[in-house]
Amino acid sequence: MKFNCIRVLMITLATVIALTGSVLMAQEDKMILDSSKASKKKERPVVTFPHNQHIGAGLDCKACHHIYQNGKNVLDESQLGAGNPDIRCSKCHDAKLRLNLQRAFHNQCIGCHVSYQKEKKKTGPRYCGTCHIRK
């Protein structure tokens, strides 16, 4: 009886690890964000973005990924597959949009880090040199 409980627990645990693992493994752990291809200029060093650390911190995919329709985020999370070019920020945030690519990144990254800081929660970098790290 006791033995069976442990077995069930082990199998459940293994399944949970396999499932969450496969979701997390689908994305690169650390992404290098470099907008120079879209803007053809590069003033600052590229930004290393720990994607999985953000998911691990409990953030929803839709906190960052969106497709807006009538002001509502209608993104279906199953569209968030590795290598899908349509989910790249640069797909929509080009020079024509009010929020160009640089502003889109800055507003999203810095905006959230500042609000977490205000709530005195663990947060990410807020200053130029701590995101654009010179190698």
- Of 75, 30, 23, 73, whose CA–CA distance to 53 is shortest? 30
Torsion, Cα of 104, 108, 109, 111 (10° steps):
120
Q: Is 135 exposed, middle or buried (0-12, 13-18, 19+ CB in 10 A)?
A: exposed
Contact track, ligand HEC, 31-50, x by CB under 6 A:
x-xxxx----xxxx-xx-xx
Q: Is 87 in the site for ligand HEC (CB under 6 A)?
A: yes
With CB under 6 A as the contact rule, the residue among 8, 81, 114, 117 that binds ligand HEC is 81
Measure the CA–CA gap between 92 and 26, rounded to whole angstroms: 23
With CB under 6 A as the contact rule, the residue among 96, 120, 122, 135 that binds ligand HEC is 122
Binding site for ligand HEC (CB under 6 A): 27-28, 31, 33-36, 41-44, 46-47, 49-51, 53-55, 57, 59, 61, 63-68, 80-83, 87-93, 97-99, 102, 104-110, 112-113, 116, 122-128, 131-132
